[in-house]
Amino acid sequence: MFAASVLLFAPPPTGADFAEVETRSEAQVRSAIMRDVRINSGADFANDAAREEGIDHTSDAPSDDHSDANGDADGDADGVAHDDAHEDDSHDYPEARLYDATIDASAAVDEALARAEVSKRNVLIVLGANWCHDSRAFAGWTATPHIGGMIAERFELVFVNVGMPQTGDGHNQHIARRFGFDKQEGTPLVIMTSYDGIVLNSETAQGWRNTASRSEDEIYEELALMATTEIARD
């Protein structure tokens, strides 16, 4: 007598079964998307610029509005930080993020001075940060045909990332000290030197932290005047 082997086959899925699978899959996708949104929302979006600077914390970041050495912003008595991600994007100045945290700042400055030694031009050393709208504005103007064209003809230009010196979390502050600035009051600090490294604008270098509030003509005129500044030589 032989034992019979019985194979049981599940009935083919019905339309309702497919609908249930599809609905469950859609729910899983929606759940994953919402999980990613929660992970990447709020403070994380606000911290993107700070992470780009290599900064571990942003809760004590200075306001982007002309912050002074104490972290207090013009018009903000409490010095509360305001992130650009939540500001009105409408403005009448260009922007560029040219403050690279990965470069060797000393080498970059030395290279600019070496170029200036050959061209006999003054050097612009811009100490700023990508989180700062005034720094982005200065960088943006240097990329325009009007101001950028004049700078390309009359200066050697170098950008240095300084992080957040207003909060004591500054990067590359040895560059400022190298040229006689013991403390950076805000961003950007724009140092102009002669081709042999002598500072020519010690009185006005700290004044560029309102760049985003200046007109194109104002910026052009000041830079054009700076380009003609020289030191007396024998």
Q: Over the chain, what is the mean pLDDT?
A: 74
Are 185 and 209 in contact by the 8 Å Cβ rule? The answer is yes
Identify the weakest region by mean pLDDT among 91-100, 126-135, 139-148: 91-100
State the virtual CA torsion across 67, 71, 75, 76 in degrees, nearest 10. Answer: 140
Do the domain assignments include residue 126? yes
- Tell me the residue range of the domain where 123 lies: 47-234
- Name the pLDDT band for 144 (thresholds 50, 70, 90): very high
**CATH number for the domain that contains residue 223:** 3.40.30.10
Do the domain assignments include residue 22? no
Residue 44: the pLDDT is 38
More confident residue, 85 or 127: 127
Residue 36: the pLDDT is 38
Do the domain assignments include residue 117? yes
What whole-number distance in Å separates Cα of residue 184 and Cα of residue 82? 20
Identify the weakest region by mean pLDDT among 8-17, 74-83, 161-170: 74-83
Report the range out of 69-73, 174-178, 181-185 with the highest average pLDDT. 174-178
Do the domain assignments include residue 80? yes
Do the domain assignments include residue 51? yes
Q: Is the pLDDT of residue 230 over 90?
A: no
Number of domains in the chain: 1
Residue 194: the pLDDT is 96
Residue 189: the pLDDT is 97
Identify the weakest region by mean pLDDT among 11-25, 74-88, 133-147, 202-216: 74-88
Helices 216-227, 145-154: crossing angle, 10 deg rounding:
10
- Name the pLDDT band for 168 (thresholds 50, 70, 90): confident
Do the domain assignments include residue 59? yes
Do the domain assignments include residue 40? no
Q: Is the pLDDT of residue 71 over 80?
A: no
For the record, the structure tokens of 148 come out as: 């950028």
Given 3-state DSSP classes, what are the helix, strand and coil percentages for the chain, each rounded to the nearest 5? Answer: 45, 10, 45
Do the domain assignments include residue 34? no
pLDDT tens figures, 12-65: 555 544 444 444 444 443 444 333 333 333 333 334 444 454 444 333 344 444
Residue 167: the pLDDT is 81
Residue 79: the pLDDT is 29
pLDDT tens figures, 81-112: 333 433 445 678 999 999 999 999 999 999 99
Residue 86: the pLDDT is 36
Residues paired with 193 in a beta bridge: 123, 199
Are 192 and 124 in contact by the 8 Å Cβ rule? The answer is yes
